[in-house]
């Protein structure tokens, strides 16, 4: 009887591992077909992670440079379940920001970075500051501990908003999934308009798991009241454009007076009479 028991157990084990090997050998496609619907019409209910990925697609983002971590796993799942936005895996978060910086410099489009909370965010500081100082458009999405754990010294919790404030054009902390789409739109708007720069969007993990209707605004209005007051007070506009770094602009701008910093030397033809010699350190002119 004992021998029959051992033989039956052995057959069950062989059957289990045979099925397991067949399952692991097949292409992993679980969930891909269903989630393609996140790229359908507006006003559909999606998770925060799916909303974020769809916002990137609607902004025309082709590549996201990043390194995965616990706080952004839902976002990585949403990235996996679609094929429009491609992820470039790096070995270190600082490499992700520098890669996105180079992509933005060479294409003129904003670079997008995705890193996790804590060390993921702090490792990205050097690249964020570089993009900010050189006026390179970059949107950095950082993971964060759940909203209920913020301020409790949770595992891998850092004040990403406070740390990055001196070296970004603007930063956001998203506490409600309903504000996520509008915040992403504002981030891309700020990163690419006026003087370009880096913008950080801090997204807690529970926000990426909550669900809300997706509606991506076609345009956003930021600081309009301040701009109207400034125009009313001064009533003038600058007739000189400064090139910080090798930016991609229409050649029609060459008719206006320009001057460049060291990084922007060579981005405009030097024989034009409207070109002045570059300024060395006046990055914030």
Q: How far apart are CA 64 and CA 230, in angstroms?
A: 36
- Domain check: are 67 and 143 in the same one? yes
Alpha carbon of 273 to those of 10, 266, 270: distances in Å? Answer: 87, 14, 8
What pLDDT sits at residue 5? 80
Co-location of 274 and 193 in the same domain:
no
Same domain, 187 and 153: yes
pLDDT at 27 (0 to 100): 44
Dist. CA 228–CA 72, nearest whole Å? 39
Q: Do 79 and 200 belong to one domain?
A: yes
Higher pLDDT, 266 or 107: 107
pLDDT at position 285 is: 47
Question: In total, how many domains does the chain have?
Answer: 2
Tokens of 76: 């990585």
Residue owning tokens 């990925």: 53
As a whole number of angstroms, the distance between CA 25 and CA 267 comes to 52
Q: Is residue 229 part of a domain?
A: no
**134 and 254 inside one domain:** no
Return the pLDDT at 15. 79
Question: Quick one: DSSP state of residue 149?
Answer: G
The answer to whether position 231 is within a domain reads no
Among 4-8, 23-27, 219-223, 271-275, top mean pLDDT goes to 4-8
The per-residue pLDDT for 36 is 44
Same domain, 84 and 132: yes
The structure's pTM equals 0.73
For the chain, report the end-to-end CA distance as a whole number of angstroms: 90
pLDDT above 50: residue 239: no
Average pLDDT over residues 3-31: 68
Co-location of 247 and 119 in the same domain: no
Closest to 105 in 3D by CA, of 198, 169, 168: 198
Q: What is the mean pLDDT of residues 103-127?
A: 96
Q: What pLDDT, in 10s, does the model give residues 26-85?
A: 444 334 434 445 555 566 789 999 999 999 999 999 999 999 999 999 999 999 999 999
Mutual orientation of helices 180-192 and 48-58 as an angle, nearest 10°?
30
**Residue 70: which domain range?**
35-213
Domain with residue 192: its CATH number is 3.40.50.970
């Amino acid at each position: 009887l004992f021998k029959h028991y051992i033989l039956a157990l052995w057959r069950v084990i062989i059957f289990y591992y045979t099925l397991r090997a067949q399952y692991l050998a097949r292409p992993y496609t679980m969930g891909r077909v269903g989630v393609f619907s996140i790229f359908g019409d507006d006003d559909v209910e999606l998770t925060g992670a799916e909303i974020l990925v769809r916002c990137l697609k609607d902004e025309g983002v082709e590549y996201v440079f990043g390194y995965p971590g616990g706080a952004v796993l839902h976002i990585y799942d949403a990235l996996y379940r679609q094929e429009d936005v491609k992820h470039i895996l790096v070995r270190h978060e600082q490499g992700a920001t520098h890669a996105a910086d180079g992509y933005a410099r060479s294409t003129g489009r904003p670079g997008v970075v995705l890193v996790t909370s804590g060390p993921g965010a702090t490792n990205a500081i050097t690249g964020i500051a570089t993009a900010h100082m050189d006026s390179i458009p970059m949107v950095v999405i950082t993971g964060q501990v759940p909203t209920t754990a913020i301020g409790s010294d949770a595992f891998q919790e850092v004040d990403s908003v406070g740390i990055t404030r001196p070296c970004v054009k603007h930063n956001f902390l998203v506490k409600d999934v309903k504000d996520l789409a509008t915040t992403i739109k504002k981030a891309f708007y700020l990163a690419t308009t006026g003087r370009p720069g880096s913008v950080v969007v801090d997204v807690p993990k529970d926000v990426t798991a909550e669900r809300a209707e997706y509606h991506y605004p076609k345009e956003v209005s930021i600081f309009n009241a301040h701009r109207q007051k400034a125009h009313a007070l001064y009533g003038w506009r600058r007739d000189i454009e400064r090139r910080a770094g090798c930016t991609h602009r229409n050649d029609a701008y060459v008719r206006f007076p320009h001057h460049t910093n060291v990084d922007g030397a060579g981005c405009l033809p030097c024989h034009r009479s409207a070109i002045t010699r570059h300024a060395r350190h006046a990055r914030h002119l």
